[in-house]
Amino acid sequence: MDQHKEMREVKQHTEKVLALIEEALKKLNSASNWGLYDILGGGMISSVIKRNRMKDSNQLLKEIEDTMRKLQDEYVHIELSLPDKFYLDFSTEFLDVWFDNIWTDLSVQNNLKRTREQLERLREKIFELDRVLKK
């Protein structure tokens, strides 16, 4: 394959990953905001909205993973770790929504923060790769 074409494809993948990361960060921030509201006295509705944002984030994390796989196939020199997806099991969701306890809310907030930090680190590495590719 022609080297210029390869670099264009890598560039397209980096741009797509960056756009997906931005979208995922928006969903995570929204989930986190709903989570804070939930901690401060929200209720079942805020828990459901928070959970929906987390599910949306998981879908975006899956898309990021798929695009990163394509990026790594095109540009084998790249080694990037992907953020953890949320483990959205029935029992945790049941506790969070129906029993709405502070411990589950705090645990969820912790997970949201960890995933957001992982995504921000990944975004910086992709920005760095993008800068290298432009040279």
Give residue 19's pLDDT.
96
Topology annotation, domain 3-134: Four Helix Bundle (Hemerythrin (Met), subunit A) (1.20.120)
Give residue 8's pLDDT.
81
Render each residue's pLDDT in the chain as its tens digit; 135 residues.
577 777 788 888 889 999 999 999 999 999 999 999 988 888 888 888 988 998 899 899 889 988 988 887 777 666 666 665 555 554 566 556 656 677 778 888 888 898 888 889 889 988 888 787 776
Q: What is the 3-state secondary structure (H, E, C) of the chain?
A: CCHHHHHHHHHHHHHHHHHHHHHHHHHHHHHHHHHHHHHCCCCHHHHHHHHHHHHHHHHHHHHHHHHHHHHHHHCCCCCCCCCCCCCCCHHHHHHHHHHCCHHHHHHHHHHHHHHHHHHHHHHHHHHHHHHHHHC
